[in-house]
């Protein structure tokens, strides 16, 4: 009757410099000998040789290797059902799109998914859902937790800094999303999972308290990846994205729906996180410090994002997930948010 709460966690989590060149030994260490490799657009040139050499040296058969550039569910179905039956694991190497495509193909075929993000722009590499195009509409669809996560910090360092900023934004967002979640329970609109809450908190706290000199520090990047992975587990424990996706994510989803060229997910989310911390009057100093010290605010200042768009997005936020009850689901907090966009000093500096 009172069964233990059981969750699945990745069996492999390798984060370090040069990991792409160790894919072969990592996979064979788990008795995987048949794989397909999917890479993001343009990444075969960059990383193909390194990965193939390592994988083949380990005696693993590569049944297929190609670049993907679609998250349309119809394309992924074609992809998935063309994979040979002997394949044991599908590796997605690259950014959010190829990660989501490989993750979903694995789910459709009940094969293992190896998540190999080459940037940390979001926590997608560690979540058990995927963001796909279903009938032309971006939709979050259930999939499954990665069997393995492999992150080459050497690769992260050489990617444009904006991807790190985006990851910092997406992780710091847990501060406001968790506060929304607790609020939602207080309003009687949900029941919190205690452990998920605690773990997501630990993930973000461990990160925001990490000392660093540069955001390309090995230690900084490792903490960022580990914390994102751990918040993915919190998500899995909770059985929903609530702990990791609150009002700040609603704002970003709203922006995505009307902006012609949205910014990186975590960048939009990060700005909304600072805004919501002000609205919630909770840990504002911590958020300010992280975004100042990492250069996040400075980076945002270069983008020309618009106050008007954020104001519009605040109004749209509750309709993105009408069944939830975040701060932005109450009019008074939407009014407060809009006023803050207009008047807050930092927001006035980084938005136009």
Q: Can you give the binding site for its own copies, defined by CB under 8 A?
A: 1-2, 4-14, 30-32, 73-74, 77-78, 81, 85-86, 88-89, 108-110, 112, 134-135, 139, 141-142, 144-145, 147, 194-195, 198-199, 201-203, 205-206, 209-210, 226-227, 229-230, 233, 237, 239, 323
How many whole angstroms separate alpha carbon 10 and alpha carbon 228?
A: 13
- Indicate the SS3 state at residue 313: helix
Minimum CB–partner distance for residue 315 and its own copies (Å):
22
Rounded to the nearest whole angstrom, what is the least distance from the CB of residue 141 to its own copies in the complex?
A: 7
Task: State how far the Cα of 324 lies from the Cα of 264, in Å rounded to an integer.
Answer: 24
Q: Is the dihedral of CA 191, 195, 198, 200 positive or negative?
A: negative
The CB-of-73 to its own copies minimum distance in angstroms stands at 6
| Least CB distance to its own copies at residue 211 (A) | 8
In the bound state with its own copies, the residue whose beta carbon lies nearer, of 135 and 343, is 135
Q: Which residues pair with 80 in a beta bridge?
A: none
Q: What's the DSSP call for residue 72?
A: B
For residue 75, the minimal CB distance to its own copies (Å) is: 12
**Residue-by-residue DSSP string for 141-193:** EE----SEEEEEHHHHHHS-HHHHHHHHHHHHTHHHHHHHHHHHHHTTS----
Which is closer to its own copies, CB of 66 or CB of 209?
A: 209
CB of 114 to its own copies, least distance (A): 10
Query: Please, which residue, 47 or 147, has the CB nearer to its own copies?
Result: 147
Q: How far apart (Å, rounded) are the C-alpha atoms in residues 352 and 348?
A: 7
CB of 128 to its own copies, least distance (A): 10
Q: Which candidate, 118, 108, 102, places its Cα nearest to that of 43? A: 118
Residue nearer to its own copies on the CB measure, 10 or 40: 10
Distance, in Å, from the CA atom of 22 to the CA atom of 45, rounded to the nearest integer, reads 18
Nearer to its own copies, 256 or 344 (CB): 256
Residues whose CB is less than 8 angstroms from the CB of residue 285 and which lie 6 or more positions away in sequence, other chains included: none
Q: Which lies closer to its own copies via its Cβ, residue 70 or residue 210?
A: 210
Toward its own copies, which CB reaches closer, 228 or 275?
228
């Amino acid at each position: 009757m009172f069964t233990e709460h059981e969750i699945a966690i990745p069996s492999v989590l390798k984060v370090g410099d040069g990991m792409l060149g160790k894919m072969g030994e990592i996979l064979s260490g788990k008795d995987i000998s048949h794989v397909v490799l999917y890479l993001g657009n343009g990444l075969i040139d960059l990383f193909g040789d390194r990965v193939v050499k390592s994988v083949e040296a380990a005696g693993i058969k590569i049944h297929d290797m190609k670049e993907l550039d679609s998250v349309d569910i119809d394309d992924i179905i074609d992809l998935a059902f063309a994979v040979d039956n002997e394949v044991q694991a599908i590796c997605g190497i690259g950014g959010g799109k190829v990660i989501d495509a490989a993750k979903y193909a694995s789910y459709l075929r009940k094969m293992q998914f190896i998540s190999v993000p080459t940037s940390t722009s979001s926590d997608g590499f560690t979540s058990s859902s995927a963001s796909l195009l279903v009938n032309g509409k971006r939709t979050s669809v259930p999939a499954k937790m990665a069997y393995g996560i492999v992150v080459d910090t050497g690769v992260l360092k050489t990617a444009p800094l904006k991807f790190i900023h985006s990851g910092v934004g997406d992780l710091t967002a847990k501060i406001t999303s968790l506060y929304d979640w607790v609020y939602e329970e207080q309003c009687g609109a949900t029941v919190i999972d205690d452990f998920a809450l605690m773990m997501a908190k630990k993930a973000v706290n461990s990160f925001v308290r990490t000392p660093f000199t540069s955001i390309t520090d090995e230690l900084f990047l490792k903490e960022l990846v580990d914390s994102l992975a751990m918040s993915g587990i919190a998500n899995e424990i909770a059985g929903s994205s609530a702990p990791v996706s609150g009002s700040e994510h609603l704002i970003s989803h709203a922006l995505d729906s009307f902006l012609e060229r949205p910014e990186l997910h975590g960048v939009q989310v990060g700005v909304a996180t600072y805004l919501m911390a002000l609205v919630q009057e909770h840990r504002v100093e911590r958020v300010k410090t992280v975004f100042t010290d990492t250069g996040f605010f400075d980076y945002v200042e270069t983008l020309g994002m618009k106050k008007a768009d954020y104001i519009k997005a605040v109004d749209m936020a509750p309709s993105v997930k009408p069944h939830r009850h975040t701060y932005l689901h109450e009019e008074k907090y939407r009014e407060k948010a809009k006023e803050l966009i207009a008047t807050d000093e930092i927001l006035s500096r980084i938005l136009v």
